[in-house]
C-alpha cells in the first residue's frame, strides 16, 4: 500500500486543477483517474465530459458569483500555458444572444450583471441590427438582444487544459495514476482506496471529483444530491478553406425560441483528431434524461439515441450561420452533473473525505477556480474571500 497526504479521485478538469493546487502545499499528492477511452462504444469503464476540442469561456456567468469564479479561472489561463508549455486558450470573444420573452437558466439578469461587474462588452438591444455589420456570418431574430463580450472571452481546448494542469502538478511533485477507483473506506486516521486493478493506496484526506459517477462506486457512505443529465452535441464538418475564413468567429450562447433545440452554445471550426474541421453546437432537447447509475450512464455513451434530433440540430445550426458551407453532420454524446441550487458542491462529507462536483455544463471554464476552492478546503479549511461558503455546501 502506498501512502499519500492527499489523493484526488478523478483526473478530469476539477480534479487536475485541485491536484495542481494541492501539490503547491504538499509533496505527497496523487490524482487517480483513467485516460480517455479508445472506443466509447465498447468501453466498460467511466467517461468524462472533457473529451472535446473546444469549450466556450466568458466572464459573464449565470450570476455575480459564477461570473467572478469564471473571471478568476480565466485570469490563470496564460500562466498555465506558460508553465506547462501547452497552449489551450483562444480569446476570440463571445456573443450572448437572448430575449426577454425566452425562459433561460440565468440566476441574475445578464444585462444588469455585465454592467455592474464592469465586464467589457457591447450591447445591441432588441431591434438594433447594427451587430450584423460586425458579425455578418450570423443570423438571429430581431426579437433578441445581443451582448458581445470580447477578449478574454473565447474558447479553450479542455483536453489540452487538463494536460497542462497535470504537467504542472507533476513538476511540483504530484503523481498521476491512470486507474479507476472502485472503493473508498475510512479507518480512523486514513482513507483507504482500492482501484479496479486491485491496487491499494492510503491518504490522510481524499477529494472526489468524478462528476456524474460520484454515486456509482461506494465513494461515500451515502449518495450525494447530484443529478446526471444527458447532453447532445452536433459537429458540422466544413472544409479547411471555410475553417480559415471563420477562424476569428466568436463563440455563441444563444437562448432560442425553438420548440426542440434550446439553450444553444456554439464554437467556431477547429481541427479534430480525425483531421477534419468541425463547428460544434450543443443544446438541450426534450429527450434529455437523467441516468441514475453506472449501467445507465454507460448505456447512454455506448448506445444513446443522440441522432433522434439530428435534423433539428442541423436546421438550427444552418439558421444561425446561413452562409457557412457544411459538408456533413454528426452527433456526439455528453453528460452533465447538476445540483439543486445551480452551484457546484464543494464540501466536506466525512472526517477525511471531500467532494467537488456539479458544474451544470460550465465546469471547463471555471475548473481552475473550483480546484482552488476544493484544495483550500482540504488543506486548512481555507476559502476565498467574498465567496459565499453556503452556496457550495451539500443541501
Q: Where are the alpha helices (DSSP H) in 5-130?
A: 13-25, 64-75, 77-84, 110-116
pLDDT of residue 55: 93
CA distance linking residue 174 with residue 33, whole number of Å: 13
The SS3 assignment for 98 reads strand
pLDDT tens series, the chain, 395 aa: 789 999 999 999 999 999 999 999 999 999 999 988 777 777 777 777 767 889 999 999 999 999 999 999 999 999 999 999 999 999 999 999 999 877 777 789 899 999 999 999 999 999 999 999 999 999 999 999 999 999 999 999 999 999 999 999 999 999 999 999 999 999 889 999 999 999 999 999 999 999 999 998 889 999 999 999 999 999 999 999 999 999 889 999 999 989 899 999 999 999 998 999 999 999 999 999 999 999 999 999 999 999 999 999 999 999 999 999 999 999 999 999 999 999 999 999 999 999 999 988 888 999 999 999 999 999 999 999 989 999 999 98
Strands (E), the chain: 2-9, 29-32, 55-57, 89-90, 94-98, 122-124, 145-149, 154-156, 175-177, 181-186, 191-195, 200-208, 227-238, 251-254, 262-271, 277-284, 328-338, 345-348, 353-357
Asked if 356 and 366 touch (Cβ cutoff 8 Å), the reply is no
Angle between helical axes of 13-25 and 363-380 (0-180°, round to 10): 40
Cα 255 to Cα 95, 131, 149, 289: the distances in Å are 11, 17, 16, 20
Asked if 15 and 209 touch (Cβ cutoff 8 Å), the reply is yes
Q: Which triple of cell numbers denotes residue 155? A: 474558447
- In DSSP terms, 253 is beta-bridged to 96, 265
CA distance linking residue 7 with residue 191, whole number of Å: 9
Q: What are phi and psi of 192, to 5 degrees?
A: -95, 135
pLDDT of residue 40: 74
Give the residue among 208, 158, 173, 102 at the shortest CA–CA distance from 334.
Answer: 158
Q: Is the dihedral of CA 356, 357, 362, 363 positive or negative?
A: positive
Backbone dihedral region for residue 306 (phi beyond 0: left; psi -120 to 50: alpha; all else: beta): alpha
Pairing of strands 345-348, 55-57: unpaired
pLDDT of residue 48: 72
Which helix or strand (DSSP H or E) is residue 1 part of?
Answer: none
Give the residue among 272, 281, 223, 211 at the shortest CA–CA distance from 252.
Answer: 281
Q: Which triple of cell numbers denotes residue 34? A: 483513467
The model's pTM: 0.94
Cα 214 to Cα 19, 64, 331, 390: the distances in Å are 18, 27, 26, 21
Q: Which triple of cell numbers denotes residue 282? A: 450543443
Q: Which triple of cell numbers denotes residue 175? A: 503523481
pLDDT of residue 372: 98
Residue that has been written with the C-alpha cell 455528453 in this structure: 334
Q: Which residues contact 326 (CB under 8 A, 6 or more apart)?
A: 236, 237, 238, 279, 314, 317, 318
CA distance linking residue 274 with residue 297, whole number of Å: 25
Asked if 251 and 92 touch (Cβ cutoff 8 Å), the reply is yes
Q: Which triple of cell numbers denotes residue 320? A: 444561425
**Could you give the domains of the chain?**
2-47+158-223+343-392 (3.50.50.60)
CA distance linking residue 41 with residue 84, whole number of Å: 32
Q: Which triple of cell numbers denotes residue 92? A: 476570440
CA distance linking residue 172 with residue 108, whole number of Å: 39
Q: For the chain, how long is the longest CA-to-CA vector? A: 66
Neighbouring C-beta atoms of residue 327, cutoff 10 Å: 12
Amino acid at each position: 500500500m502506498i501512502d499519500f497526504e492527499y489523493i484526488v479521485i478523478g483526473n478530469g478538469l476539477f480534479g487536475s486543477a485541485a491536484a495542481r493546487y494541492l501539490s503547491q502545499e504538499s509533496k505527497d499528492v496523487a490524482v487517480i483517474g483513467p485516460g480517455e477511452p479508445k472506443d466509447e462504444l465498447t468501453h466498460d469503464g467511466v467517461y468524462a465530459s472533457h473529451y472535446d476540442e473546444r469549450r466556450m469561456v466568458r466572464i459573464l456567468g449565470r450570476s455575480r458569483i459564477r461570473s467572478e469564479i469564471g473571471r478568476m479561472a480565466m485570469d490563470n489561463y496564460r500562466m498555465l500555458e506558460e508553465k506547462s508549455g501547452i497552449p489551450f486558450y483562444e480569446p476570440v470573444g463571445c456573443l450572448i444572444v437572448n430575449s426577454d420573452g425566452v425562459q433561460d437558466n440565468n440566476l441574475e439578469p445578464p444585462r444588469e450583471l455585465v454592467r455592474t461587474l464592469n465586464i467589457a462588452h457591447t450591447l445591441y438591444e432588441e431591434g438594433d441590427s447594427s451587430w450584423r455589420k460586425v458579425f455578418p456570418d450570423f443570423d438571429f431574430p430581431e426579437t433578441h438582444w445581443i451582448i458581445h463580450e470580447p477578449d478574454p472571452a473565447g474558447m479553450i481546448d479542455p483536453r489540452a487544459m487538463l494536460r497542462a494542469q497535470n504537467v504542472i502538478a507533476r513538476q511540483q511533485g504530484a503523481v498521476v495514476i491512470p486507474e479507476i477507483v472502485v472503493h473508498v473506506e475510512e479507518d480512523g486516521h486514513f482513507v483507504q482506496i482500492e482501484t479496479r486493478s486491485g491496487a491499494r493506496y492510503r491518504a490522510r484526506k481524499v477529494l472526489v471529483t468524478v462528476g456524474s459517477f460520484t454515486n456509482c462506486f461506494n465513494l461515500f457512505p451515502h449518495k450525494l444530491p447530484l443529478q446526471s443529465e444527458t447532453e447532445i452535441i452536433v459537429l458540422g464538418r466544413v472544409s479547411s478553406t471555410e475553417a480559415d475564413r471563420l477562424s476569428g468567429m466568436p463563440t455563441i450562447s444563444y437562448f432560442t425560441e425553438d420548440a426542440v433545440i434550446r439553450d444553444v452554445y456554439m464554437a467556431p471550426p477547429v481541427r479534430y483528431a480525425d483531421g477534419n474541421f468541425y463547428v460544434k453546437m450543443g443544446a438541450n432537447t426534450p429527450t434529455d434524461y437523467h441516468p441514475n447509475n453506472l449501467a445507465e450512464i454507460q448505456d447512454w455513451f455506448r448506445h444513446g439515441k443522440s441522432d433522434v434530433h439530428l435534423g433539428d440540430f442541423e436546421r438550427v445550426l444552418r439558421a444561425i450561420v446561413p452562409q457557412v458551407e457544411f459538408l456533413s453532420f454528426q452527433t456526439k454524446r455528453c453528460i452533465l452533473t447538476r445540483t439543486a441550487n445551480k452551484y457546484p458542491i464543494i464540501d466536506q462529507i466525512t472526517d477525511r473525505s471531500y467532494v467537488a462536483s456539479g458544474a451544470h455544463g460550465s465546469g471547463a471554464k471555471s475548473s481552475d477556480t473550483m480546484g482552488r476552492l476544493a484544495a483550500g478546503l482540504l488543506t486548512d479549511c481555507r476559502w476565498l474571500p467574498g465567496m459565499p461558503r453556503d452556496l457550495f455546501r451539500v443541501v
